[in-house]
Amino acid sequence: MDLEFRNLRYTVSSPITKGKRRDVVKGVDGRFSSGQLVAIMGPSGAGKSSLLNAISGYRSAGVTGELLVNGQQRNEHLFQRSSCYITQEDLLQPLLTVREAMDVAARLKLPKGAKVHSEEILQELGLLEHQHTKTDCLSGGQKKRLSIALELVNNPPVFFLDEPTSGLDTVTTVQCVRLLKQLARQGRTVVCTIHQPPASLLELFDQVYVIADGRCIYQGDTAAMVPYLQSVGLPCPRHHNPADFIIELTENPVNIDVLSEEIMNGKIYKSAKVESTAEPVQNNLELKICYQVEDDAPETEIMLSNEKCTYKVPTYKETDSLSSASSQISQVNSSMAWMKVQTSDTCSYATTYCEQFSILLCRMLKQIFRNRQGLWIQLIHHIMCGVLIGICFFNMANDGTQMFNHLKLCVGLVIFFAYTQIMVPVLVYPQEVKLVKKEHFNRWYSLTPYYAALTVSKLPVQVTLNCLFCTIVYFMTGVPFSLSRFIAFCLIGNVVSLVAEGMGLAIGSVFNVRNGCAIGPASIAPFLGLAIYGFDFAHRIPLLMNIVMKTSFIRCGVVAMVLTIFGFGRTPLECKDVYCHFAKPDVLLKYLDIERTSVWFELAIMISIMLVFRSLCFIGLKWRFAT
């Protein structure tokens, strides 16, 4: 697939600049051909990742310009099925082995009955011997290769990689780039951003696209870069790495202007053979380069058609670049013949929504149950808190003199469920969103089955732990046993925890909260405030305020708790004093002004609030993925 972009612009506006818009990529042109390994280079902050995101479609908000595939306007959905994007961060599903991750990818990305080549891919990428290793135990290079392997499962013809070599040592970097070259040689278009590669690495790329200050300052064959710089009067010194040199040139804004004008912001392609231009350009050097490769000569002399250069650049034989430096990555002529590049002519997913749901649910459950440490911590947390609350209010539930302690217990229980469940998604979910965005963008699955699986997968552990906590508290505090009361007690605990979790997910899906510790309690605080104010029933409150207070799920939870403990035909409490005003449960309910509501009504309000939060989370994810 040949990719082309014209007048591509990426504009951002940030709240810091008070909504002022800024062009990060400034109307650049360019084209990347199939079978080529392309490097997008440039100084830090030049706009490399922004350009890659815009070309790949990974970012669409603020992007304008024409994007073409094989000379035709591209259909974004179809293009996404034919391309894949590998992020700079190694986003892999934790707690799965390499083989399991491959199997999940194959089940999601290939239609039923299609031949799966997981083993061959792992073999080719040198991961077969690590197939039973968990993904979080892999080295940086292995993680990068696994990220590529997962996308190779359905063999897309276009690969986008954001800084695939970042964090890798020299040897692993070379291995990684050789692998990419191997993929390109099979007919794929492989485009990656790279940060100032050494000369030996630069030579492995077929094409280079250099960007500085959002503008294209060079586009063309790698071998044509040095002559191009020479042609504009900026000769690369002898023995100087051309990649370093061109980036050093960008320190001077005048050089950026000169180079960008010369290359017409990407309209011109500098070829090592014959130069071609999208639009005819006058006064442009016609570059023709011929190599004189000598076995023993470390350098190549470059000849221009209209002048002879005197400087030399190091030579790397084409065959060398694909050969054996790595024992882990096999030869280009090896068994990868089966890996025919596939194009997709359908926008739909490879599997049905039902299949996606069941595959994702299995994956999530497996990850939850493998997280032994997390499960133990949660179990101990629930038992410890249950026992501590039980000790504080031990056998108090039937004491008619302890009205305020009864209310404290109810508020305490609801706060426990709320805080326990809101913190985890606020802190952890933003990281998962990045991974899901990558998988969703690469058309592994749709958002709906993912979200359904996410909701269902958490239930077994959450419900079990909540019920365990409720049982401990219920029996230690001495609430008189009745099956319906006990069921309602557990139900309220679970619903409050689901509302809080929904709230945490909604926050985590929209914001990449760095200081999540603060935002969790902060988000609960208004609800708590409303709950406390809502209990000042001594005087009647206006209708509007009453409605606002009803939106406090903590208040609903506390009311439902009180109604459960003191309702369900509760007999009068014991009175050890001369007179106990609140010994009769009805008096307490009347005093709190909650005798006209019911547990089921409060539960219904909480379920509605939960649905609102969960819908917000879904909309938040959709919005994040669409931009």
- The site for ligand ATP (CB under 6 A) is made up of 12, 14, 24, 42, 44-50, 195
DSSP string, 370-411: H-HHHHHHHHHHHHHHHHHHHHHTTT-TTBTT-HHHHHHHHH
The CB-of-361 to ligand ATP minimum distance in angstroms stands at: 34
Q: How far apart are CA 264 and CA 260, in angstroms?
A: 6
Contact 86, 164 (CB under 8 A): yes
Q: Which is nearer to ligand ATP, 48 or 382 (CB)?
A: 48
Task: Tell how strand 83-86 and strand 158-161 pair up.
Answer: parallel
Residue with tokens 């290939």: 110
Q: Which is nearer to ligand ATP, 400 or 430 (CB)?
A: 430
Q: Of 152, 142, 85, 161, whose CA–CA distance to 119 is shortest? A: 152
CB of 627 to ligand ATP, least distance (A): 9
- Give the DSSP H/E element, type plus range, for residue 269: strand 268-269
CB of 52 to ligand ATP, least distance (A): 8
Min. distance of Cβ 439 from ligand ATP in angstroms?
22
Minimum CB–partner distance for residue 479 and ligand ATP (Å)? 53
Nearer to ligand ATP, 45 or 187 (CB): 45
Cβ neighbours of residue 538 closer than 8 Å, sequence gap 6 or more = none
Q: Of the two residues 195 and 312, which places its CB atom closer to ligand ATP in the complex? A: 195
Is 62 or 493 the residue whose CB approaches ligand ATP more closely?
Answer: 62
Which of 24/177 has CB closer to ligand ATP? Answer: 24
- H/E stretch holding 308 reads strand 308-314
List 276's β-bridge partners, or say none: 269
Q: Are the beta carbons of 427 and 510 closer than 8 angstroms?
A: no
Closer residue to ligand ATP in complex, CB, 44/73: 44
Nearer to ligand ATP among residue 60 and residue 324 (C-beta)? 60
Name the residue type at position 289.
I
Min dist CB 213 to ligand ATP, Å, is: 9
Tokens of 565: 């403990």
Q: Which is nearer to ligand ATP, 252 or 323 (CB)?
A: 252
Q: How far is the CB of 263 from ligand ATP (least distance, A)?
A: 18
Residue type, 376: W
Tell me the CA distances in angstroms from 51 to 55, 196, 221, 381, 445, one per residue in order. 6, 16, 19, 47, 25
Angle in degrees, 0-180, between the axes of helices 447-477 and 353-370, rounded to the nearest 10: 40
Cα angle at 324 between 152 and 335, to 5 degrees? 45
Give start and end residues of each alpha helix (H) in 57-187. 76-82, 98-109, 118-124, 140-152, 170-185
| Complex with ligand ATP: residue 149 or 212, whichever CB lies closer | 212
With respect to ligand ATP, which residue has the nearer C-beta, 205 or 450? 205
Instruction: Kindly state the tokens that stand for 41.
Output: 């280079």
As measured in angstroms, the least distance from the Cβ of 164 to ligand ATP is 13
- For residue 495, the minimal CB distance to ligand ATP (Å) is 38
Q: How near is the Cβ of 159 to ligand ATP at its closest, in Å? A: 18
The 10 Å CB-count burial string (b at 16+, else e) for 580-617 is bebbbbebbbeebbbbebebeebbebbeebbebbbebb
- Tokens representing residue 518 in the block: 């603060």
Smallest gap from Cβ 209 to ligand ATP, in A, equals 12
CB atoms within 10 A of CB 384: 12
Q: How far is the CB of 163 from ligand ATP (least distance, A)?
A: 7
134 or 195: CB nearest ligand ATP:
195
CB of 235 to ligand ATP, least distance (A): 26
CB of 162 to ligand ATP, least distance (A): 8
Q: Do the Cβ atoms of 138 and 33 come closer than 8 Å?
A: no
> Which of 61/545 has CB closer to ligand ATP?
61
> Which CB sits closer to ligand ATP, 316 or 625?
625
* Nearest Cα residue to 155 out of 199, 127, 186, 179: 186
Following CA atoms 34, 36, 37, 42 in sequence, which dihedral angle do they give, to the nearest 10 degrees?
A: -90
The residues, ordered by sequence, that sit 6+ positions from 228 with a Cβ below 8 Å of its Cβ are: 218, 220, 262, 263, 270, 287
Count of residues for the chain? 627
Question: Rounded to an integer, what is the distance from CA 517 to the centroid of its chain?
Answer: 20
